[in-house]
Amino acid sequence: MLGQDFLRAARLANHEVTGLAHRDADITDPTAVARAVESHAPEALVNCAAFTDVDGAEHESGEAMRVNADGARNVARAAAEVGASVVYPSSDYVFDGAKDSPYVESDEPMPLSSYGTSKLAGEVDTAAVNPRHFIVRSSWLFGLGGRNFVETMLELGADQDQVLVVRDQTGSPTYTAHLAEGLVRLISTDAYGLHHMAAGGQCTWYDFAVEIFERAGVDCTVMSATTADLARPASRPAYSVLGTQYEDAIHLPDWQDGLRGYLAERAA
C-alpha cells in the first residue's frame, strides 16, 4: 500500500523515483540490497518492505525480526554506503497503550507483541547504521495497494448483515496516500531522526467500521466486542494514538478525510 502510494506522490512532486519489488532486491539479503542500491545511486531510500502480519508474527517471530530488523539494517547500511538518507516507516505498536493521551516521540516504547518488538528493533538498527535516517511511526494504515481494514469491512458487509468489531482499541486510521505525501515532504528536509506522522483525530475500530459503512452506503450492523472476547494471538495496545512534540511537524489530514479519499479512489 505505502510503496505504491509513495511512488505516485514522489512523481507528482517531480522526483525521479524507482520502485524495487521483492524480486529486485530481497531486503534480507545484504548483498542483493547493496547491489541494487549501488546500481541506482539514490539520494534517498524509502524502505516500504515489512512483515506486517501482527498475529502471524507471534508464531513467526524470527521471520518478523529477519525482515523488520535485519532487513531494515541492510537497507539503511546500503543507503549509507552511497551517501543516501533512509526512511524507515514504523508503527504505533511499539507502545503498550497504557497512556491516555497521544504518544509523542520522546515517550518510551514498550511493545506488547512480536510484531511491535521487531519494528522497534528495526528503528534501532536503522539509526545505528545510517545517521541520515528518518524513522516515521504511523498508525492503522489503509490504502488501495493491499489488504486493509476498510476493504475487509466492505467485503464482509456485502455478504452478511452484521459484523463484530472491537471497541476497546483506539488509534488513528491513516490513509497511505496521505502518509506518502507526508514522507515526500519530509525527505526534502534535513530533519533526521524520529517522527510521528499519523492521521489527525482518533477512533476505535468499532467507530471506524461504523463510519465505513455509513460513507459507503452499506446496510450492515456493527456489533461491538472487547479485545478479550476475540482472543487474538498478539496483544494490541488499547490506546496508540500518535501525537508529536515538534512545532514544525508534518501534520496529515483527519482519518475521516482519509476514508473519504480512499472510497473515492476505490470507486474511480
Catalytic positions? 115
Q: Contact 60/113 with Cβ under 8 angstroms?
A: no
Q: Contact 213/157 with Cβ under 8 angstroms?
A: yes
Query: What is the dihedral sign for C-alpha 102, 106, 110, 113?
Result: positive
